[in-house]
Structure 1
Amino acid sequence: MKYYWITVLVEFAILGSVLSYGEDCRNSADHLQIIADEFTLYNVSTSRPNFICTNMSLPSMNTTYSSVLIQYHVWNSNLTASLYYTPRREYAIRGDHIGLLWRMNSYQQDVQSYVALTEPNMTATEALILYTPLNSSVPVPGSCNMETNPELNPNLNIHYQVENVLINVTFSLANVGFDKNPPDCDSSAPKRSVLRYDFYIMFIPWNMYSKDSLFGELKKMMTVEGIMKHGRKIHMFGKNDKLELRLAMFNGRGVILNTIVRNSITGAMSPYIPRVTYACGNSHGSLCYGRVQPLYGIVFAAAMIIGAVMCFTGHHFFHAELLFFGYLPFCLFSIMILSANTSLSQPVILAMALVFGIPGGLMWVALWWRWGYVLPIMMWVSLTLGFLLSAIVFFTPFGNLNVWYRSLAYGMAYMCGVMIVPVILIVFTKLLSMLACAAWGSYLVIAAISYYSGGVLHYIVLNVIHRSYIPGYSEAYVIVPMNPVDYFLIGVWFVLIVAGVLVQRRLTRGRRDFPLCGFKERLLKRNHEKALRNRTRFEDRERQAQRPMEDPTATLNAAEMNDNDRDPLIVVD
């Protein structure tokens, strides 16, 4: 297989209305002739009104080629492409990364296509074009499209779900290669049963949104060799599988998707048309990168401050720890329940969950104040820490195993991860308390930094929340696009956990492991005060008992005494 690259700089001066599906370019003078004699790289600059007709002549084309795969890629606009003079709706494709499949006739040497800008406010764009002749032994991608127009559709279709959190990728069936007439596209055709489809992805390097970087990365995913070298294979479709795949997205992180269809017997392969998405509703992603929504920005800023306090002083201020671990689970569960059972927007749900978490925190503080049982409190804290541990595990490739597609299996495995923490650490209550404060507090700090810097670590908990309410998310691949910032934050996270435990241990040295609950402390204080009062009363009685008895006659007036009342004077010689 040979690949022919043509990079065309097409500058369109919009003089009237843009191309519509009903206009005809047959008699147009705006015709771009591309002669692919040596199949080299072309850079053509021209000024064309409205639309441009592209004719690619292949003088060396022989009868072994059955079709030609044509690709169009633009950076920040949309194109309308068609193989026919009149690009009607049933024959045209519109988008920023589109492709056409030209079925060759015997001894045909010309391949024609028609392309135009469809954005009314765009006057120029640069298009990257690649056409790939396919011989008779190579599978023909998208040549058995029986659902949508056009009939030959080698494009990948992307459908966004729930604020671009999840995408659903579909593509049309391929057919085996042919010499003259294409084989039947019936699903029971034995020839088509040998075809397999390998789905690949490649993330665009972090913080790269320019046109040159996009085209440079696209070239790696437009040919079979480039896809297999630079792409990451995540799924293989068999002969009876539905050609549909779900993929979790990360806002602002560009990803290139493509599929290779191969003959499992001969090994012949051909690519589909790659698609690019940034999961933010923008073709090149720069408008969504680094965009901080006011509500989320405030929430993450507050989370960073609270997390720093909890990381280093959580166990020292034990009542603040109780408030935190009561508030956090109630807030997370409120988000899950409201998202699954209401149609409210995510900012509204977040605001409501922030309010609903307050009663949970206050309730947990009240329970401790009244009874002060350490084990139940630490059991709840350990489960919260286990929730974070399981979220981390299922954020790794371990979470992409097919067995987790079933909600029951996923839920049981997730709860096993949650229960590991109390099973191991419940006997070390003080260490458990300090570790939970350090782990969750440092995660809030790291999550806030990740959100502001365009990382992905704040998706660790969001991944669990998304699975709880987004239909089909359980079957989605969660491929994490790690970047240097994320690796740095992971290291900082580990350091913060260790430092947080050590600082808390230092602050609580010489103190009892857990303070008394408020009710018992108040009861002891009241009993102590009562004991002091009783002691004071007892001492008063003791002092009164030890005072000498007074002679009642001593108070008599000496003048009133007679001689009989006086003591006789005894004179001793």
Structure 2
Amino acid sequence: MIMTKLVLFITIITLKIVLSQTQNAILTVYLNKSTTWENKELYSGFTKLNNNSTLEVDCVNLNSNISYVIFQAHSHLYNITLYNNTYVYGSYVKGTNVGLYSSIKPTIDTFFVMNSNAIDLDVYISIHGYSAKDPTPGGCNAEFSVPISPFLQTKYNKDYVLVDAAFPQDILDKNCNSLERVRVAFYQMYIYERNFSKEAYFDGIQKMMTMEYISDNGVFIPDNGLNMRRMLSAYPGTGSIYVAVAFSVANKSAYSVYVPTVSYACSPLEENGCVIFDDALSQLLCASLLFIGTFICYFGHRFFKTEMFLVGLASGGIVTFILISLIADLNRPALLGASLLCGICFGSMWLLFYWLYGIPLVSVFLATLNVGFLFSALIYHGLPGGHRALEDDANFWTLFIVLMLLTSLVLVSMTFVSNILCCSLLGAYAAVYPIDYYLGSNLKYIIINTVRRAVVPNFNHAVLSPPFEWRDSLVTLLCVGLAISGFLVQHYQNYGRPPFPPPPRSVRPVPVTIYGATVPSTERRPVTSRNSRSRVITERTALLA
């Protein structure tokens, strides 16, 4: 008897807990607010959604000028489920930035926001009203599960982010036969770098919610030939808000806004989910660049033979990294290890070349090529995108190599000064690379985006659109300061000294003057000091001398 009562008591308590967690809340919103061309938002506000609970939203007192509404709900990091009337396939959408369409005839839908997570969530709800002349966002959907899909879908990997939207429907195109009647423009806004806070997240969404705010805060994403998809270079850890706007071609005042969506290009909920270099070898190499870059920036020309080895190592490592990535699928540590070994081999060969031949012009040429590569990568990094001609790989790489060679040829004409300049520029960028990584800024992507263009399939369609915020400004100023100071220090160090040190051993022909005529000698012998003169042989010189 006692056991029966105990079991009954435990059952009642369990049912009460379950019911308390799954009970529904009801929110009634009034949609009688007047709309303007810049702002068609009828309602917005935050609500607390308990764990394992559902919020019912009833809309009343509709504005008489409204033909349909777009209901949207946003949560931070955790998925929610939005459905209307009944929870069946084709009536719900799941995600962090979701939205549904509802006509007001014969009556507006009742919306339900469901939190299936084990934690309470703050949910931002916004309802937008549109007239009959406005195009329907996602009205000609052919891919998403909901018949009318006014929301955007984002996918990402370590290299790029994909943003997809369903085709909009024009009021005069009931059967979606003339999709060209509506033009769709995509916009983007960055959240502050490495800021995963809930406040920054919702503040960013609100800044991209209406046409007025989109015009003030959004940056246009050019069309990249993928129709209703935009492909953007990924910057893991930097939150980005995307939104699309459908404009009627016939009626310039008619438009509708899709539900904004957010992507960090990583998963902040996972441990090390937004860490770019997550293996020991990558982190070791990144940290070592601080010391190697500082050395090259201030002492590169003074220790010329060390510079030759390091420049050869960097060139061989980058080329090998690209080639191996194209022919083999290796994880990052193995790929970096192979590239490092090949870079050491190439650096040793380049040092050996100077060791034996000692031709400054040829030796400096590789350093100027590296500066040319960095300059071309910087130009590519800053391009706004949307250049159809540059989407063709043949056009792009031809222009890239031409810029690189032109930069190199201009610099190599001033061998001594250009080598000091190359050391200061390459060393400064290498020195700030780990600083950029630890601060979470994005100057490291000057090189990364170029490597992505070479090895990532279809990256020719990606819009780079790099963020430039206060961290980027700080690292840029530091890089410029290091380059200028490095050039001045090295120029002062080498003032009055020979422009280049002699090679330790030369196999180049040594000129010998015989009876007033200079004759090349094939004798292999060490190079003497620069102040020594060639032995002059005359008729008075002893034959055995």
Q: Pick the TM interval, shorter chain.
A: 0.7 to 0.9
Q: 1:392 to 1:15 in 2, by over 3 A?
A: farther
State whether residues 503 and 527 of structure 2, in contact with CA within 8 Å, keep that contact through their aligned partners in structure 1: no
- Out of 230, 235, 246, the position equivalent to 1:261 is 246
Amino acid in the other structure paired with 2:232: L
Deviation of 1:524 (Å): 2.8
Deviation of 1:196 (Å): 0.5
Amino acid in the other structure paired with 2:88: R
Task: Provide, for residues 32-76 of structure 1, a one-character-per-residue CA deviation record: whole Å limited to 9, x for no partner.
Answer: 1313165566555575x73324232222344x5332101110013
- Residues 1:208 and 2:195 are matched in the alignment: yes
Q: TM-score, normalised by structure 2?
A: 0.83
- Residues 1:485 and 2:471 are matched in the alignment: yes
Q: 1:380 to 1:89 in 2, by over 3 A?
A: same
Other structure's SS at 2:67 match: strand
Amino acid in the other structure paired with 1:324: L
2:539 aligns to what?
Answer: none
- Residues 1:217 and 2:218 are matched in the alignment: no
CA RMSD of aligned residues (A): 3.1
1:392 aligns to what?
Answer: 378
State whether residues 200 and 234 of structure 1, in contact with CA within 8 Å, keep that contact through their aligned partners in structure 2: yes
Amino acid in the other structure paired with 1:36: Y
State whether residues 32 and 61 of structure 2, in contact with CA within 8 Å, keep that contact through their aligned partners in structure 1: no
- Residues 1:249 and 2:234 are matched in the alignment: yes
Amino acid in the other structure paired with 1:58: V
1:198 aligns to what?
Answer: 185
Whole-angstrom CA distance in 1 between matches of 2:175 and 2:472: 47
Higher CA-based Rg? 1
Paired residues for 1:546-557 under 5 Å: none
Number of paired residues? 493
- Percent sequence identity over aligned pairs: 23
Whole-angstrom CA distance in 1 between matches of 2:49 and 2:164: 36
2:516 aligns to what?
Answer: none
1:34 aligns to what?
Answer: 28
- Out of 90, 110, 113, the position equivalent to 1:112 is 110
Unaligned runs of at least 5 residues, structure 2: 1-14, 34-42, 508-523, 530-543
Whole-angstrom CA distance in 2 between matches of 1:383 and 1:339: 22
Choose 361-370 or 49-58, whichever is displaced more: 49-58
Deviation of 1:507 (Å): 2.1
Paired residues for 1:1-400 under 5 Å: 30-36=24-30, 44-45=47-48, 50-62=52-64, 64-85=65-86, 87-106=87-106, 108=107, 110-119=108-117, 122-161=118-157, 163=158, 165-177=159-171, 183-187=173-177, 189=178, 192-235=179-222, 242-267=227-252, 268-282=254-268, 288=274, 293-397=279-383
State whether residues 282 and 288 of structure 1, in contact with CA within 8 Å, keep that contact through their aligned partners in structure 2: yes
Task: Provide, for residues 263-315 of structure 1, a one-character-per-residue CA deviation record: whole Å limited to 9, x for no partner.
Answer: 12212111001110111123799963798653332111111101111111111
Task: Provide, for residues 90-121 of structure 1, a one-character-per-residue CA deviation record: whole Å limited to 9, x for no partner.
Answer: 32211111111113323x2x4311221233xx
Deviation of 1:242 (Å): 1.9
Deviation of 1:523 (Å): 2.0
2:8 aligns to what?
Answer: none
Unaligned runs of at least 5 residues, structure 1: 1-12, 20-27, 528-540, 542-573
| Structure 1 stretches of at least 4 aligned residues deviating more than 4 Å after TM superposition | 13-19, 37-47, 283-287, 289-293
Other structure's SS at 1:34 match: strand
Amino acid in the other structure paired with 2:109: V
1:8 aligns to what?
Answer: none
- Residues 1:457 and 2:408 are matched in the alignment: no
Other structure's SS at 1:35 match: strand
Other structure's SS at 1:281 match: coil
Other structure's SS at 1:474 match: helix
Deviation of 1:363 (Å): 0.6
Whole-angstrom CA distance in 1 between matches of 2:355 and 2:188: 54
State whether residues 290 and 454 of structure 1, in contact with CA within 8 Å, keep that contact through their aligned partners in structure 2: no
Other structure's SS at 1:133 match: strand
Deviation of 1:451 (Å): 0.6
Whole-angstrom CA distance in 2 between matches of 1:286 and 1:61: 48
Q: 1:367 to 1:16 in 2, by over 3 A?
A: farther
Deviation of 1:207 (Å): 4.4
Whole-angstrom CA distance in 2 between matches of 1:201 and 1:274: 10
1:7 aligns to what?
Answer: none
Task: Provide, for residues 214-234 of structure 1, a one-character-per-residue CA deviation record: whole Å limited to 9, x for no partner.
Answer: 111111112222212211112
Choose 416-425 or 246-255, whichever is displaced more: 416-425
Deviation of 1:211 (Å): 1.1
State whether residues 260 and 272 of structure 1, in contact with CA within 8 Å, keep that contact through their aligned partners in structure 2: yes
Amino acid in the other structure paired with 1:421: T
